[in-house]
Amino acid sequence: MRLQKFFSDCGVLSRRAAEDEIAKGNVRVNGEVARVGDSVDPETDVVEYKGKRILPRAQAPHRYILLNKPRGYVTTVKDEKGRRTVIDLVRGVGTRIYPVGRLDMDSEGMLLLTDDGELTNLLTHPRHEIPKIYHVTLSSLPTDLQLAALASPMTLDGYVLQPVTVRQLSPDTLEMHLYEGRNRQIRRMCEAVGLRVKLLRRVAIGDLTLGELPTGKWRELTETEVEYLKNPTRKG
């Protein structure tokens, strides 16, 4: 197998990017600096990129990343309009990962990214048991009627939304718990009752929080956190 195809199959670099890195001398095969055009046997050869061994996809463990997304980035791998994407913020991960669900460009806060398709499907399924928790700052003070309407059954585009838990944190700030993620759901719910969102921040996914993670930075999830996301009802 061509070395650049090996990198692509492993989800580390595109073929073109791998070829550039090989040409720069950043790739070694069995301890020797590789050259453009070299081939490898994924089963027996040891491939290293910048000192780190690259494993075939079947052997490589999944990656689970928690990003504190800033506003101004779109939640996609590639944007046709040339806007900044969340992938630009996790370039150092070293493998191809994908956002779990969406957080719109004007929103900020917790976003998970992974190459584990099974977990992605689990977390984005409407019946998943882990709520996504948001702090919502409004441009005006909500009335009791507006708060009651947000917590009541609501329909968007003919779709009946799952119940949303609403708690008032301060006169102009709400905490909302969602178990699904329709497109711009919170903003559209607020608009439907006559409120406008000034700031929307996802602060947690179930028991998983941002902690002290600065805006624009990311970290790996711990094994305990991954196990929680896969089995939220399991304790200890």
Q: What are the residue numbers of the active site? A: 104
Strands (E), 126-192: 132-138, 155-156, 159-160, 165-170, 173-178
Residue 134: DSSP 8-state: E
Residues 47-72: b if buried by 16+ CB within 10 A, e if exposed: bebeeeebeeeeeeeebbbbbbbbee
Measured in residues, the chain has a length of 236
Distance separating the N- and C-terminal Cα atoms of the chain: 45
Q: Are 85 and 74 in contact (CB under 8 A)?
A: yes
**Residue 58 identity (one-letter amino acid):** A
81: its two tokens: 């309009």
Q: Are 220 and 65 in contact (CB under 8 A)?
A: yes
Q: Output the furthest CA–CA distance in the chain (Å, rounded).
A: 71
